[in-house]
Structure 1
């Protein structure tokens, strides 16, 4: 550990690394620890044994409409333009997802124009008022048949819960379109770090005021910390030793596979399997990176309850439990809590960067 005064940052993912760089640029001495043997958090990527760049913790597709966020990260990486596309397998056939006009025409054998697609949705939707759950969101938008074909079983696999038991915001993240735009995201800036996320993080943490120590669990060293301030990006309930009980998080198991002499395994970067198999989706990394290779590498995602925390589970009772921990965090004047796990929010990457920049500004202000 460094000699005081220094600021300790727990976690070398987006939240921790952005705060570290901002504080270092402001002249503060920063020590970053992470219990994993690498930086970049869940965005960590590396060459697999076959030389293909893969995301170890599932696909991370960068997209934002925040010019400030994109320009900030552009200090640490060049970009490869990339617009993510997803297909959903229903009844053994592949359809554009999120649902758009082409999905309707292909699924139902129709020939709808944009106005016809809007009229179709209006005819099949089941109005819900108030809209409280994810089930309400989807039924209110596209009706029961599309709900059951594309959303119901996928959600059950992903969250281990029926959509009726999840807050509306989960499904509200997925648009429904009357046009033929088959991009998964419509943000202004859509790109992948040209040389990968890990290289971007290496650049971000490359500063004389930043030291990094990996393979260090905060729980093992917290009694010996002499830092003037702590920036904590781990699960907030773990910081307080789960004194109010465990906050529910959803985890994932990743099954990586290399396919030799297969140049392209699937038509788009990600294919969803809402109704078949124990996994939710398969991602082929060469779509994301543009890498040329005679083989290809894919990953299957299996949601599970146990394991590293990835997603806060958005339910009202979980939010109430988080508020109890948040009240405790307000009394920790020398600790800043920031990030998806520390703030128990279903942040996208750009939202984490925004939250981290805001936190750093408060600390340096």
Structure 2
């Protein structure tokens, strides 16, 4: 068998590159994944009770990129959806990111009003303030608020999820969920937000429905080396694994999901509820809120963070710390030496936590460079 490209990994990065190369360059692609399905961590399926679930945690699509939105719209219609998340704090469910509505859920009205006025006068309405910045700059009553929010909303959740406290991580982690001086309860404020009308797996199936694309699942790409011929490879798996961990294992956090079907229409008010303090799990997910599916039953999942072991579970989150970036840099130099044979891209290959739209944007940018013969 002879193909132009061997692409390893059928998630958003690999599928986008396979579709573009096949449709725009008229070249043959073999897309390989060691899992039994396409879609990577965005894979969804129907469980035994007919509920559409996200097997690897809730995935809500959002982007500010018109290019990405228009590209994916070739393969799906969209169900309008704005994600909301609640967090259990002192026995009450409050909106996160922490916002002005959260104040009034937790504090007496007059004190909440005072804090609101202080936040607006110091930072302005509609601004997003990372919690570590708020702690550093706050004074007076805002010092109390900063410490309260840090401890109740961020600290223990971060410790449970990462096994590190917020100061031990890159500031981009806490900046992802800032204090939002607004009454907007949406988790994201991106221009384009929605859910694939028929699910992510259908979206991926349509992307890969091209005669130039051959798909091989349940297969480790290394089993194919020597058995097939290809001109170049695109690798979207863990970069340290590709180089046989010669510079050590890059650390990740992993997740474990426990699913439970409920004989009721809905279990909770929104798609995600965080539990920073209670229990061993960090959150409970209910995807019916995302999909809009009609059923007298629902399925929820409990999300348990855990350590990553290459032989036991899946890598989910690169751990953003300076020493880890330096370790990745050693692998990036190795990749640079063989870029005429193998291109590396994606969350695991780039050792970056990409949102879905960022993975697509990365793939589209890489494809442009390939098509223009810049790499």
TM-score, with length taken from structure 1: 0.93
The 3-state SS of whatever aligns with 1:6 is strand
1:300 aligns with 302
Q: Where in structure 2 are the equivalents of 1:258-273 lying within 5 Å?
A: 258-260=261-263, 262-273=264-275
Structure 1: how far apart are the matches of 2:314 and 2:50?
Answer: 26
After superposing on structure 2, the runs of 4+ consecutive aligned residues of structure 1 that deviate more than 2 Å are 110-116, 120-124, 134-142, 218-226
Determine whether 1:329 maps to 2:335: yes
Structure 1: how far apart are the matches of 2:253 and 2:226?
Answer: 29
Mean CA deviation greater in 27-36 or 218-227: 218-227
Q: Deviations over 1:89-147 (max 9, x none)?
A: 012211111111110122112357889525148889xxxxxx9xx87346347611110
1:128 aligns with none
2:12 aligns with 14
1:355 aligns with 362
Structure 2: how far apart are the matches of 1:234 and 1:114?
Answer: 50
1:127 aligns with none
Q: Deviations over 1:33-87 (max 9, x none)?
A: 0000000000000010000100000000000011110000000001100000000
User: What is the aligned residue count?
Assistant: 354
Q: Where in structure 2 are the equivalents of 1:53-132 lying within 5 Å?
A: 53-111=52-110, 117=116, 119-120=118-119
Q: Where in structure 2 are the equivalents of 1:44-59 lying within 5 Å?
A: 44-59=43-58
The 3-state SS of whatever aligns with 2:106 is helix
1:250 aligns with 253
Structure 2: how far apart are the matches of 1:249 and 1:27?
Answer: 37
Q: Is the 8 A contact 2:131 2:179 kept in 1?
A: no
Q: Where in structure 2 are the equivalents of 1:192-231 lying within 5 Å?
A: 192-231=195-234
Q: Deviations over 1:306-326 (max 9, x none)?
A: 221011000000000000100
Structure 2: how far apart are the matches of 1:247 and 1:325?
Answer: 10
Q: Is the 8 A contact 2:104 2:112 kept in 1?
A: no
1:181 aligns with 184
Q: Where in structure 2 are the equivalents of 1:30-41 lying within 5 Å?
A: 30-41=29-40
Structure 2: how far apart are the matches of 1:222 and 1:358?
Answer: 27
Structure 2: how far apart are the matches of 1:72 and 1:225?
Answer: 31
Q: Where in structure 2 are the equivalents of 1:277-292 lying within 5 Å?
A: 277-292=279-294
The 3-state SS of whatever aligns with 1:28 is coil
The 3-state SS of whatever aligns with 2:363 is helix
Structure 1: how far apart are the matches of 2:147 and 2:247?
Answer: 39
Q: Is the 8 A contact 1:271 1:281 kept in 2?
A: yes
The 3-state SS of whatever aligns with 1:219 is helix
Alpha-carbon spacing, 1:363–1:146, altered in 2? closer, same or farther (3 Å): same
Q: Deviations over 1:156-209 (max 9, x none)?
A: 111111111101000111132222100000001110000000000000000010
Out of 132, 138, 141, the residue aligned to residue 136 of structure 1 is: 132
TM-score, with length taken from structure 2: 0.90
Q: What's the C-alpha RMSD, in Å, of the aligned pairs?
A: 2.0
Structure 1: how far apart are the matches of 2:6 and 2:81?
Answer: 35
Structure 2: how far apart are the matches of 1:138 and 1:16?
Answer: 39
* Structure 1 unmatched runs, 5+: 125-130
Out of 161, 166, 169, the residue aligned to residue 163 of structure 1 is: 166
The 3-state SS of whatever aligns with 1:255 is strand
Q: Is the 8 A contact 1:138 1:147 kept in 2?
A: no
